[in-house]
Amino acid sequence: MSVTVKEWAEFWLVEYDSKCSKPSTVQAHRYLIRNHIIPHIGETELAMLTEQDVLCFLDELPLGSAGKRNVSAVLRRIMRQAAEDGLIRRNPVTTRLYPCPDKVTANILSEQEIEDYLIEAEKQGKLPMFHLLINTGIKVGELIQIQWREVDEQKGILMIAGQRSRRIPLGSDTVALLRQEHAPHPSSPGLFLHRGSLKPYTRGEIYCYHRKIISACELEGVRLCDLRHTCAVRNLRDGADPSTLAALLGHGDA
């Protein structure tokens, strides 16, 4: 019996990926499979998919190099498992397509660009979260998991739980913004929640808000992680000790 790419990819998500990957990773893989892989090559028989088919499929995707690299990586894992299970003779995604650049340059925002960015974030009703990101350097994954009980309003401290637990000092303006963010849903434990559903934001949603902001500010090329880089550089310029800063950012060493 023939198996299509769609059927195998969906089976792989449930039987393999969900049992060895984090839920957020599985969610990202599911998005790539359902929005890019299945619509284009989903009806292709698994055994008939060739390396040339894969190259043509990726070349025609309306994505940048990073997006194509992500799709390629997921498809490679799916087909590798198919080969290991004996469904195909060899993995047609054999080469490392769209490799990461050897060197990535951080885009550090100037003080004027930071001001423009935060003004636009406020216009879009997202000032508290982006103010926190750019002033504390926390990761997006940490941001969306923050609980209101982890904010000490009196001492101006944010507790970040996880593998790199730490206490981050907050300015009074930041505390005020976090209080403002929590006010519409005072009984909910989470801090950054959708006003309607009261569910935490996803990484993808934060990324989309960031894209709207940089587009409005004409800051194309500024990545979401550059907010973290900007926070680090600003602290170093202000004389912060590298070891102390590394600990605040959640790094193991300076």
Each residue's pLDDT tens digit, 105-131: 778 999 999 999 999 999 999 999 999
Terminal C-alpha separation, the chain:
56
pLDDT surpasses 70 at 239:
yes
Structure tokens at 186: 């005072």
**Helix, strand and coil percent figures for the chain, each rounded to 5:** 55, 5, 35
What is the structure's pLDDT at 97?
63
Structure tokens at 59: 């070349």
Chain segment 186-218, per-residue pLDDT in tens: 999 999 998 888 888 888 889 989 999 999 999
Structure tokens at 139: 């990761």
Measured CA to CA in angstroms, residue 60 lies from 40, 64, 73, 183 at distances of 10, 11, 16, 46
What is the structure's pLDDT at 9?
95
Measured CA to CA in angstroms, residue 76 lies from 14, 24, 53, 155 at distances of 17, 19, 13, 49
More confident residue, 23 or 103: 23
Architecture in CATH of 111-249: Orthogonal Bundle (1.10)
Phi-psi region of 98 (alpha: psi -120 to 50; beta: other; left: phi over 0): left
**Is residue 88 within 8 Å of 47, Cβ to Cβ?**
yes
Neighbours of 169 (CB within 10 A): 11
* Torsion sign across C-alpha atoms 20, 22, 23, 28: negative
More confident residue, 1 or 197: 197
Residue 42 — pLDDT band, cuts 50, 70, 90? very high
What is the structure's pLDDT at 99?
63
Do 111-249 and 5-84 fall under one CATH topology?
Answer: no
pLDDT surpasses 80 at 164:
no
More confident residue, 97 or 109: 109
Cβ-based neighbours of 145, under 8 Å, separated by 6 or more? 161, 162, 200
pLDDT surpasses 60 at 245:
yes
**Is residue 47 within 8 Å of 2, Cβ to Cβ?**
yes
pLDDT surpasses 90 at 251:
no
pLDDT surpasses 60 at 79:
yes
Range of weakest confidence among 71-80, 90-99, 135-144: 90-99
The whole-number average pLDDT for the span 100-109 is 71
Q: Where are the domains of the chain?
A: 5-84, 111-249
Give CATH for domain 5-84.
1.10.150.130
pLDDT surpasses 80 at 51:
yes
Question: Interior CA angle at 49 toward 48 and 55, to 5°?
Answer: 150
**Is residue 248 within 8 Å of 137, Cβ to Cβ?**
yes
pTM given for the model: 0.61
What is the structure's pLDDT at 29?
95
Rg (CA), the chain: 22
How many whole angstroms separate alpha carbon 165 and alpha carbon 44?
A: 47
